[in-house]
Structure 1
Amino acid sequence: MNQPDMNALMQQAQAMQAQLQEAQKEIVASVVTGQAGNGLVTMEMAGSGDVKSVTIDPKIVDPDDVETLQDLVLGAFTDANTKLQQLAQEKMGPLSQGLNGMGF
């Protein structure tokens, strides 16, 4: 039987763990911008998921139509959240595939 070199596997696992931690740091340090209504509402979201800012174009503010504004804010949040998930997949995807390939 051909046994894998456990020291080599452990070194690979430690290297991948370091890469994973670095990718996580990059994600947390990132800021993505979501928008809705062709930029009438924008939202900046940190990689940690914290909302950093919300910008609303005054022309969309209509006291008689609060629902549209609420929908646009929700849309900007959803867009930012989607971009954050894409960023995480971009940074973490190759690493998680590498771990799976090692049998972890």
Structure 2
Amino acid sequence: MEPGGQPNIQQMLQQAQRMQEQFISLQRELAETEIQGTAGGGLVTATLNGQNEVVKIVIDPAAIDPGDPAETAETLADLVVAAINNASQEAQNLAQQKMGPLAEGLGGGLGLPGM
């Protein structure tokens, strides 16, 4: 702060610029990250990228019952959804873990009232 208790605007702008650069860098890093989720004890694995897009589904042949294709299809559909949801939750956890410190900096790091 400058004399008289006023924040130094130039320092605040520089800090905001650094935080923006960190945010963009983290977004890129997360977008390039692949996160896996599983269901059915590993019978189905879903891989998502950091933008929550499904990039790969792997189904273990042991999940397929050739004697009951209708039941197998229904079970596999449920397992695929569960694996995607699991991977999505992992992606959210990773994003929160990576972005959390930056968000805390935005909340109090600029020295602005109410921030």
Aligned pair 1:95/2:102, yes or no?
Answer: yes
For 1:44 and 1:64, the matched residues in 2 are separated by 25
Q: Which residue number in structure 1 is paired with residue 45 of structure 2?
A: 42
TM-score (norm 2): 0.84
Percent identical among aligned pairs is 43
Task: Find runs of 4+ consecutive structure 1 residues off by over 6 angstroms.
Answer: none
Aligned pair 1:30/2:33, yes or no?
Answer: yes
For 1:61 and 1:93, the matched residues in 2 are separated by 41
For 1:21 and 1:73, the matched residues in 2 are separated by 32
Structure 2: tracts of 5 or more residues without a match: none
Aligned residues: 104
Aligned match for 2:70, one of 64, 75, 89: 64
Aligned pair 1:2/2:8, yes or no?
Answer: no
**Superposed CA offset, 1:32-63 (max 9, x none):** 01100111000111112221110111221231
For 1:70 and 1:61, the matched residues in 2 are separated by 12
Q: Which residue number in structure 2 is paired with residue 79 of structure 1?
A: 86
Structure 1: tracts of 5 or more residues without a match: none
Q: Which residue number in structure 2 is paired with residue 19 of structure 1?
A: 22
* Structure 1 residue 72: Cα displacement: 0.6
For 2:91 and 2:74, the matched residues in 1 are separated by 26
For 1:41 and 1:22, the matched residues in 2 are separated by 32
Say which SS state the counterpart of residue 97 (structure 1) adopts.
helix
Say which SS state the counterpart of residue 70 (structure 2) adopts.
coil
